[in-house]
């Protein structure tokens, strides 16, 4: 069978086994997460029993989160990684991968969120939004007109964090216990997405809601003493987080049909298929001139966030815009990230690893060298070294400088040539390092 047919057979088999052994619980029951874990073990057992003769050993199963992928990272001498899986159930199926990641010294985390609650049957694959019906009714944010605020993409309701604390703590405890993670990503909590809640028993102001989010974030840190991340890293909600996704390149073009619907467009981001390697994450796309100027052109950018938070929050790309997603602005994004000392991000699947590993190694070589020396230094100065703003320089509190050449010509800096598409780093100890986007 060719690769397409193999993928279809595997998808159908996986679907069949989920039908044979469904999760015998629901969000209204306290054992919902427990059953997800137990069913994962049972499904693996029955798959091995029925199909084991055709399969590799169990420890080698899995896609992006799998032991062979972790081993390939180690073989490539990648010793500093944050691995983030979109669902905690991946760890339930592949605990050997989580163990291998931690033994390699990596941070391994899962995506979680408590901001939208939806009824059963709306989208049962959206695990984070599977909130008990009583909480969905009681914790939904009430607008001034008496109606509840609709949740993400108009589904369900947005919830008040203060009302969700007990449930959040209980679910998080089970996810961390069964998943074995050594960090966590709480989506949306640090976006500063604050509302007034006119619920008759709450009457919460925006500032009260901010305190609810901050309590939720800080509880995890106090309870587990582990790194915590969230979305954006808005100033209102940064006191507890170490990393954030979304500021370096934000999500954009949400209502642009050429990006979201027109499959013939060079700007189309892709479908959510195949399951193991969705196009929306892995398919390269181009960027319209409007967005190029607005979001990526160096002459229109300033490192305002990094000037405040560089030594406090490690902030990177939005999950939908990894380092390889936009082919025609890749070099500009690479140079800007190095200039601001913010990390690269790559989506990884087992099938794509061979193609993406060289890029990951190249990014790590540049970013890791700089970040190990500058991670706790404040960004204190930003300069345009040319009138066209095509050569820019950042200075950090220890005196180190990073100079990026976005132009097509060499630039002479202190008798040293900064090549086009290159950053030159002068560390405070006198060493000089060059990194080129390729």
HSE value, Cβ hemisphere, 13 Å, CA-based, for 226: 18
Model confidence over 350-369: pLDDT tens digits? 999 999 999 999 999 999 99
Model confidence over 37-70: pLDDT tens digits? 999 999 999 999 999 999 999 999 999 999 999 9
Asked whether residue 3 carries a pLDDT value surpassing 90, the answer given is no
Model confidence over 99-158: pLDDT tens digits? 999 999 999 999 999 999 999 999 998 999 999 999 999 999 999 999 999 999 999 999
- Cα–Cα distance between 157 and 148 in angstroms, integer? 7
Give pLDDT, residue 275: 86
Lookup result for tokens 């390697």: 277
What percent of the chain is predicted at pLDDT more than 90? 95
Give pLDDT, residue 6: 87
Q: Two tokens at 420?
A: 């086009």
Q: pTM here? A: 0.94
Three-state DSSP class for residue 201? coil
What percent of the chain is predicted at pLDDT more than 70? 100
- Mean pLDDT throughout 165-186? 98
What's the first-to-final CA gap in the chain, in angstroms? 35
- Per-residue pLDDT band at 378 (split at 50, 70, 90): very high
**Other Cβ atoms closer than 10 A to 387:** 8
Residue 148 contacts residue 155 (beta carbons within 8 Å): no
Kind of pairing between the strands at 243-249 and 228-231: parallel
Q: Give which of 10, 183, 206 is closest to 107, Cα–Cα.
A: 183
- Cα–Cα distance between 304 and 392 in angstroms, integer? 14
Q: What's the fold here for domain 3-376?
A: TIM Barrel (3.20.20)
Spans of all domains in the chain: 3-376
Model confidence over 282-334: pLDDT tens digits? 999 999 999 999 999 999 999 999 999 999 999 999 999 999 999 999 999 99
Q: Give which of 246, 249, 272 is closest to 260, Cα–Cα.
A: 272
User: DSSP E strands: which ranges in 351-410?
Assistant: 379-384, 391-396, 401-405
- Mean pLDDT throughout 184-199? 96
């Amino acid at each position: 069978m060719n690769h397409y047919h193999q993928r279809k057979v595997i998808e159908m088999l996986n679907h069949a086994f989920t039908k044979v052994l469904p999760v015998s619980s629901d969000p209204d029951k306290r054992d919902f997460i427990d059953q997800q874990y137990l069913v994962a073990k049972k499904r693996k057992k029955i798959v091995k029993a029925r199909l084991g003769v055709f399969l590799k050993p169990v420890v080698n199963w899995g896609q992006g989160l799998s032991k062979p992928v972790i081993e390939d990272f180690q073989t490539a001498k990648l010793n500093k990684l944050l691995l983030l899986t979109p669902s905690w159930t991946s760890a339930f199926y592949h605990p050997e991968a989580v163990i291998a990641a931690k033994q390699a010294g990596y941070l391994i985390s899962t995506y979680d969120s408590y901001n939208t609650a939806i009824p059963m049957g709306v989208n049962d694959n959206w695990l984070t939004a599977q909130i008990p019906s009583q909480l969905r009714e009681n914790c939904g944010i009430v607008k001034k007109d008496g109606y509840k605020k609709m949740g993400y993409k108009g589904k369900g309701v947005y919830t008040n964090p203060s009302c969700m604390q007990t449930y959040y703590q209980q679910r998080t405890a089970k996810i961390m216990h069964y998943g074995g993670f050594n960090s966590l990503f709480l989506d949306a909590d640090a976006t500063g997405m604050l509302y007034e809640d006119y619920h008759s028993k709450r009457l919460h102001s925006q500032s009260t809601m901010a305190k609810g989010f901050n309590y939720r974030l800080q509880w995890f840190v106090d309870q587990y003493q582990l790194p915590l991340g969230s979305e954006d890293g808005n100033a209102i909600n940064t006191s507890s987080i170490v990393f954030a996704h979304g500021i370096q390149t934000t999500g954009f073009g949400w209502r642009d049909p050429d990006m979201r619907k027109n499959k013939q467009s060079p700007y189309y981001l892709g479908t959510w298929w195949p399951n193991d390697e969705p196009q929306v994450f892995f398919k390269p796309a181009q960027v319209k001139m409007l967005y190029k100027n607005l979001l990526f052109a160096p002459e229109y950018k300033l490192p305002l966030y990094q000037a405040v938070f560089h030594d406090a929050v490690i902030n990177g790309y939005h999950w939908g815009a990894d380092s390889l997603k936009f082919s025609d602005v890749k070099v500009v994004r690479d140079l800007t990230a190095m200039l601001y000392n913010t990390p690269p991000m790559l989506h990884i699947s087992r099938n794509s690893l061979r193609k993406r590993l060289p890029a990951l190694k190249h990014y790590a070589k540049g970013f890791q060298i700089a970040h190990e020396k500058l991670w706790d230094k404040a960004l204190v100065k930003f300069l345009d070294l040319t009138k066209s703003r095509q050569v820019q320089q950042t200075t950090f509190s220890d005196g180190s400088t990073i100079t990026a050449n976005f132009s097509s010509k060499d630039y002479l800096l202190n008798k040293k040539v900064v090549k086009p598409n290159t950053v030159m780093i002068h560390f405070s100890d006198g060493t000089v390092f060059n990194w080129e986007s390729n």
